[in-house]
Amino acid sequence: MALVLAQSNGRALGRDGSSPVDQTAPAMAEPLKGFFSAALVKRIAASLRAADGSFPAEAFTKEASRGLEKLELVDRARHIGRAMGRHLPQPYPSAVHVILRSLGPAHAQDELEGVGMEPFFYMPHLIFVAEAGLDHFDVSMRAQYELTQRFTAEFSIRAFLERHPERTLSTLEQWALDPRAHVRRLVSEGTRLRLPWGARVKWLDTNPDRILALLDLLKDDPTTLVRRSVANAMNDMYKVHPERALQWCGTWLEGGVSDERRALVEHALRMAVKRGDPRALELVGYGDAPKVELAAVKLAPKRVKLGGDVLVSFEVVHVGKRSQDLLVDFAVHFVKSSGKPSPKVFKLGRVTLAPGERAAFSKRVSLKVHTTRKPFPGRHEVDVLVNGTRIPAGAFSVVE
């Protein structure tokens, strides 16, 4: 089972003076893995001892802290979770009972920001459930139901989808109607076909309509938290089953729909729109071929060193006879280590132009090393994208 920071809900943990979760998060300038420290192990030990006076806090703390500093973030959480399992009472249901009694309050809000790493306090707990609880379905489902309201069970639930797909799906269908937003979010997030850093689940890939039926239950959820997750899940669906995703999004837009649902579909089809998929562009209202020309195109500087940036600016001039809605982006064909180009689309905006009108756009493109992109020297072509139609805009060179 893989877990990743980016997929945390970023959610705060409600707490009172007796809660095991401390408000103070580690400074973000320090490595994030430092959150899983010997001090955190002691906090977990204290929370479990408070729930069960016989829990061997000292022995657990010693084992869980041993060698911790040599591990990366996820491995630290896994190390702590496995040590937890070796010191909690047996059998497994008894261990889960202690965990549930140790939990602090669930989130009081749907959207919580600025809490740093604190929700990760419960990451080892979920790793323990995913690794030790597959043969105790009902108990494990209850544990994940509670834990997802404090961190997220989107990764641990995938182990159960792999082992018990039908039983897990049946549970998720019930949770899609749960009054708690963080539980409903687990339904859409945990079943994503390409959950970042999440383990692939073959059953999900081969049963797309079962997943789409869950998303259908959540498409008009009252919270942004859940609707955003539904859109991300549909975006994943497009990666694997593009025709099914487009078909369902088309159905969701039939008749009079709310602004929230339309926004959900537009976010769900963002990859399809970036790729210039004609059906997706039509669904979001930009299916007409653009009647435009480019003017005042500027790529500055024409030669840029690695680590610098380039200003891309241009005007879109409407040369048609009727007003037209236009979706304007641009793509830079970044040179890869192989020397071959790979396009990266940058979003710009939407505009409605009358005949003869023009609109100006500009954006700086960084040539620094990013976690998702490493630039290399070479000629970088630039295309302007208007309603998915590519219009060449020139090139710039990246030099050492």
Could you read off the pLDDT tens digit of each residue along the chain, which spans 400 residues? 334 333 333 333 332 333 344 333 333 435 789 999 999 999 999 999 999 999 999 999 999 999 999 999 999 999 999 999 999 999 999 999 999 999 999 988 887 676 678 899 999 999 999 999 999 999 999 999 999 999 999 999 999 999 999 999 999 999 999 999 999 999 999 999 999 889 999 999 999 999 999 999 999 999 999 999 999 999 999 999 999 999 999 999 998 899 999 999 999 999 999 999 999 999 999 999 999 999 999 999 999 999 999 999 999 999 999 999 999 999 999 999 999 999 999 999 999 999 999 999 999 999 998 877 889 999 999 999 999 999 999 999 999 8
Residues 257 and 354: beta-carbon distance below 8 Å: no
Q: What is the DSSP letter of 78?
A: H
Q: What is the DSSP letter of 27?
A: P
Look at residue 112 in the predicted model and tell me its pLDDT.
Answer: 67
Look at residue 326 in the predicted model and tell me its pLDDT.
Answer: 97
Look at residue 223 in the predicted model and tell me its pLDDT.
Answer: 97
Residue 136 lies in a domain: yes
At 366, which CATH number? 2.60.40.10
State whether 322 and 258 are in the same domain.
no
Domain range for residue 353?
Answer: 292-399
Look at residue 372 in the predicted model and tell me its pLDDT.
Answer: 75
Fill in the amino acid letter for 252.
W
State whether 93 and 221 are in the same domain.
yes
State whether 57 and 90 are in the same domain.
yes
What SS3 class is residue 343? strand
Residue 330 lies in a domain: yes
Fill in the amino acid letter for 113.
E
Residue 286 lies in a domain: no
What SS3 class is residue 304? strand
β-strand partners of 324: 353
Look at residue 14 in the predicted model and tell me its pLDDT.
Answer: 33
Measured between alpha carbons, how far apart are the two ends of the chain, in Å?
40
State whether 48 and 137 are in the same domain.
yes
Rounded CA-CA distance 141/276 in Å is: 41
